[in-house]
A = this chain, B = another copy of it.
Amino acid sequence: ITECCTVSLWLSERTVLFCRWVFVWEKGYQETDSVVSSVTTKAKGVTVTNTSTLGFRVWDVADYVIPAQEENSLFIMTNMITTINQTQGLCPELPDKTTVCKSDANCAAGSSGVHSNGIATGRCVLFNGTVKTCEVAAWCPVEDDTHVPDPAFLKAAENFTLLVKNNIWYPKFNFSKRNILPNTTTAYLKSCIYDAVTDPFCPIFRLGKIVQDAGHSFQDMAVEGGIMGIQINWDCNLDRTAALCLPRYSFRRLDTRDVDHNVSPGYNFRFAKYYSDPTGTEHRTLIKAYGIRFDIIVFGKATVLCDVIVLYCMKKRFYYREKKYKYVEDYEQGLGGEMDQ
């Protein structure tokens, strides 16, 4: 009977302590094991367009990557509405239910609606032969973005490539690695294209394939733009050889479209290139850029001894028995005092 009690006591204490030990151990581990990651990207590809407004034109990286560099992100312009040679002045607004007017009485001077391109002067002027709209002080002529080019202006971006360089570091274990694996040759890296099956460790991605692997159509996405997540997962068991710590890539569209709400669907923004003519007057070319922003998201978790508890409770515990006992003993001494109370 006494034995029974001792057993029960010893057993329960042991497990409690083990549980407690793991707790402490895990906690310490969890808090300091923040993965430090750095990402750089480089796009490649050239295409040509031929339109009435812009004529024949070549587009290279410096033209379609905006801004030129970001920390964990890269924007590729796939479609655009260009308003060339704008100058500061007075011009009629675009016609819509708030701007169409019959007389100056319809135009409140100084007013500016949410979607206005400028500040109303209070005059009602001819927009074209038939329509009159309120005049605004603005960059003139005002942008007309009623029609988004479809197919996308730079649809050829589907074949552009993106090199993603990712370095990770686990501070606690001072373990670092990069997604360009040591056993790959430079020749391979110069020619490879990522493929989940045939080239799962090639860090060069074809833009079209990224979108396709996420279950979307690049050409659809290219028209109004969107956000793609390139996820790099580094789950590493550092008890095993570091060679088994490998990046896993997955792709996901991050901007879920919702047909019911197309308030600024997709992804676009405006920027301008400013010029100065010989007289010193400032001109600008306004570009409403639609495109795909690729966000590189790095997940990382390094496990070391926490396997003990996992395996232990998953009942494959014999493997680690020795380790466990070691800890139990450590704590048993300490416990003596407690039981004497």
A interface list, Cβ under 8 A from B = 1-2, 4-5, 7-9, 11-13, 15-17, 19-24, 26-28, 30-32, 34, 36, 38, 40, 42, 44-48, 56-58, 60-63, 65-73, 75, 85, 88, 112, 114-119, 137-139, 161, 163, 165, 167, 169, 176, 178, 180, 182, 184, 186, 189-190, 227, 229, 231, 252, 254-256, 258, 260-264, 267, 269-278, 280, 283-284, 286, 289, 293, 295, 297, 299, 301, 306, 309-310, 312-315, 317, 331, 334, 338-339
**How far is it, in angstroms, between the C-alpha of A28 and the C-alpha of B88 when the chains are bound?**
56
Chain B residues, Cβ within 8 Å of A255: 38, 40, 165, 167
Please give the count of copies of this chain that the complex contains.
3
Determine the chain B residues whose CB is within 8 A of the CB of A20 once the complex forms.
15, 19, 22, 309, 312-313
Min CB distance, A54 to chain B, in Å? Answer: 10
A-B contact pairs, 10 of them (CB 8 A): A12-B13, A23-B309, A24-B313, A38-B229, A58-B118, A60-B117, A62-B284, A67-B69, A68-B270, A169-B254
CB distance from A194 to the nearest CB of B (A): 14
Name the contact of A264 in the complex, choosing from B116, B163, B169, B301 (C-beta under 8 A). Answer: B163
For the residues of A in contact with B, the DSSP-based class is mixed
Q: Could you say which residues of chain B place their CB within 8 Å of the CB of A284?
A: 62
